Structure 1
Amino acid sequence: MGDAPSALKRPLKNALQLACKTLRSLCGILEDNIKNEVDRLQSGLAVSAAEVSGEIDRRGAEIIQKLTETVHAEQNRLKKYLETSVVITNKDIDTLFTEDKHLLQKAKENLKLGENLIKSGSDSDIKINLSKLTKIASEISQTNPKTEIPELKITLTDSKKKNTETFSVDIGEILKPDIKSLTDRQTLTDTWTDTQTDRQTLTDTPTDRHTDRLTLTQTFHTKISSDKRNPHLDSIAVLGGERSKKIVVSDFFNFCVKYFSVENFKLFKYDLLSQPRGLARSRDQQVVVVLPWKRQILYLDIQDDIRLTNTLNIGKPYEYISVLPSNHLAVSVWNGDGVSVDILDEGGRVIQSLPHDLIPSPSCLTVKGDSLVVVSENNSLKCVTSSGLVTWQSRDSAKLRHLRGVACDMEEFVYVCDVQTNCIVQLSSDGEVIRDVITRQDGLSRPWFVCCDQDTLYVTQEDGHVKIFRWMKANP
């Protein structure tokens, strides 16, 4: 009877032992499974991390390679522009002494004459030529010494370009000496039609372009004897310094580019195989011209004559053109073609496109800082960055009726031709319409294109005339 409780406890103990044994076995299996899974996952993670590390190295090497290529390309571009700047500046230096050279040549000729008269000339001949030699000597003595001009330097400055979302390399900007700002402005020739403006009112005192006015100073017509039709001027550009200024226009009806040289007062013509549209000045003082029907862009060098230096065969019928600070070309696509504005490299390859819905039906365009101002449909103006961000759009439609050419001056005021109202409309740098700065009362008739150069606006008219306006102080 006393052993009965012990007998009853044995099965319970055996059951407990069995449960513990089972639990111990399951714990071992679970522990092994956990360890194996942890090892497997950590091993896989280590392998993938090693693969990603290798991919990082590979992609980094690609970026470094691209960066190196981009840096080298930018270095080469800057060095090429540096070489061009040296050539242009040397020509400007030579031009700076043109009048002095003419005076020197005249003085030497008269000196030789005077020496011959001393040897064998009669008193009457000596008397006739004495005053001439004295006058030339006086002219030479009054010649301004060029030593007053400071040393000319080409410098590399930090770029003023704004940051964009696109990758770029910014080494800096090359600034060449502005010789024309160091010399006196040359009075424009009376060969052009003089509008009898009181020239004493045209002063070099800085003007306020919010309140001062533009005054017509010269008008000339671009028709020459070889023209088959009356000129239809589309675009205009200005090259050179004050004493070597050349005014270049595209003549749509006569299939040519023309330029007027201030130095020799003659109109020159370069015949083309197709009708030209837009033209613009490149950074190396050449002119780029668009031929929509040929799907070409021409580079023309304009010195004593016009010489073709390069032809870009392009895939679209571009219409108007402007040159960016990088020397890339901004072009508007003629008749839509699905894209509004393309950015081309110097080889004519498309490197960026601004979509059609961003700037519908674009026509004329101009550079404002590192942005573009484009004439768009519904006679509006849009300012867009190179990354495709619209910074402003003109809002005063009542003053903008039928827009054509557009230009921007050095203070970033914008000027646009309104053919319907016969005026040039001035806008602020942020797109606010300020006023009609040139009107029919100033002698303007159907203005087609406008170009800014220093304190002067050059305007082409549909009838083939070019009119030149300069800023003057408003009456107090």
Structure 2
Amino acid sequence: MAVTLHGTKEIIIVEVKPELVLQSSISTRKVYVGLTSLTPTTLAAGSLDPPCVDILDMAGNVLKTPDPVTDGEKLVSDPWFLSTTRQGNILMSCGEYGARSVLCLTPHGDVVFRYQPTQPWPSLRGITETNTGHILVIYLNANCVFQLSASGTFVRKVLTSRDGITSPHSLCLCESQHLYVIDDDCLKIYRFTRNT
């Protein structure tokens, strides 16, 4: 497991045994926030200053910085939350500043899709892909988890305040289809089904 350390220019590699065992650390030239593994030897890491996503090797060297622009607007604004699709593309939620959208990029920087919520000033958080290729995203302002299709169109709300969601931040969907949601200062576990 690779983890960014808030406010530092370091990524740590941890083994889960089930206790956490520090394996190594990677020094970087930037402070990174979001992080996802693209291949066994490369990571995609989100930086806030400057706002970008870098492709890194396991020594912390920047191999590429995809920098998509549409109609003169930089699309990567605050990549706090990243995930990798089964096709090896980078999913990110940019939900604090600037673009405020869900973005899917190839590692070369081509835009696969961009989804922008219709509500003003959305605050987007955690993001992950399901085993069917759908995408789950946390929408903090609406206190919900919503689902997008693999092509980036809105499908439905999956979890709302009726399900006990009050201040969701991040999420993870495991192979057993349990959806783990960090909600305020609690970890909540839901069984994810097509009808959840």
Q: TM-score, normalised by structure 1?
A: 0.37
- What is the aligned counterpart of 2:119 among 377, 380, 398? 398
- What is the aligned counterpart of 1:346 among 58, 63, 73? 58
C-alpha distance in 1 between matches for 2:30 and 2:174: 30
Name 1:53's counterpart in structure 2.
none
- What is the aligned counterpart of 2:2 among 288, 302, 313? 288
Alignment of 1:198-217 (within 5 A): none
Unmatched tracts of structure 1, length 5 or more: 1-286
C-alpha distance in 2 between matches for 1:415 and 1:473: 12
Change (3 A) 1:367 1:310: same
Change (3 A) 1:438 1:375: same
The residue type paired with residue 367 of structure 1 is T
Name 2:180's counterpart in structure 1.
458
Measured after TM superposition, the shift of residue 314 of structure 1 is: 0.6
Instruction: Count residues in correspondence.
Output: 185
Change (3 A) 1:399 1:431: farther
Is 1:365 aligned to 2:79, yes or no? no
Question: Could you list the per-position Cα deviations for residues 245-265 of structure 1 after superposition, in whole angstroms to 9, with x for gaps in the alignment?
Answer: xxxxxxxxxxxxxxxxxxxxx
Change (3 A) 1:378 1:353: closer
- What is the aligned counterpart of 1:324 among 23, 27, 38? 38
Measured after TM superposition, the shift of residue 385 of structure 1 is: 0.5
Change (3 A) 1:361 1:473: closer
Measured after TM superposition, the shift of residue 378 of structure 1 is: 3.7
C-alpha distance in 2 between matches for 1:370 and 1:297: 21
C-alpha distance in 1 between matches for 2:38 and 2:62: 14
The residue type paired with residue 412 of structure 1 is G
Measured after TM superposition, the shift of residue 304 of structure 1 is: 4.5
C-alpha distance in 1 between matches for 2:99 and 2:194: 34
The residue type paired with residue 39 of structure 2 is P
Is 1:379 aligned to 2:100, yes or no? yes
Measured after TM superposition, the shift of residue 384 of structure 1 is: 0.6
Contact residue 79 and residue 93 of structure 2 kept, 8 A:
yes
The residue type paired with residue 293 of structure 1 is G
Change (3 A) 1:326 1:397: farther
C-alpha distance in 2 between matches for 1:294 and 1:471: 35
Alignment of 1:224-243 (within 5 A): none
The residue type paired with residue 331 of structure 1 is A
C-alpha distance in 2 between matches for 1:444 and 1:370: 30
Contact residue 375 and residue 406 of structure 1 kept, 8 A:
yes
C-alpha distance in 1 between matches for 2:155 and 2:25: 40
Measured after TM superposition, the shift of residue 291 of structure 1 is: 1.4
Helix, strand or coil for the counterpart of 1:364? strand
Is 1:410 aligned to 2:124, yes or no? no
Question: Could you list the per-position Cα deviations for residues 114-163 of structure 1 after superposition, in whole angstroms to 9, with x for gaps in the alignment?
Answer: xxxxxxxxxxxxxxxxxxxxxxxxxxxxxxxxxxxxxxxxxxxxxxxxxx
C-alpha distance in 1 between matches for 2:164 and 2:84: 27
Measured after TM superposition, the shift of residue 395 of structure 1 is: 3.9
Is 1:301 aligned to 2:15, yes or no? yes
Helix, strand or coil for the counterpart of 1:354? coil
The residue type paired with residue 77 of structure 2 is P
Alignment of 1:66-77 (within 5 A): none
Change (3 A) 1:353 1:399: same
The residue type paired with residue 457 of structure 1 is L
Name 1:167's counterpart in structure 2.
none
Measured after TM superposition, the shift of residue 307 of structure 1 is: 1.6
Name 1:445's counterpart in structure 2.
166
Q: Identify the structure with the greater strand proportion.
A: 2
The residue type paired with residue 365 of structure 1 is L
Contact residue 77 and residue 100 of structure 2 kept, 8 A:
no
The residue type paired with residue 383 of structure 1 is C
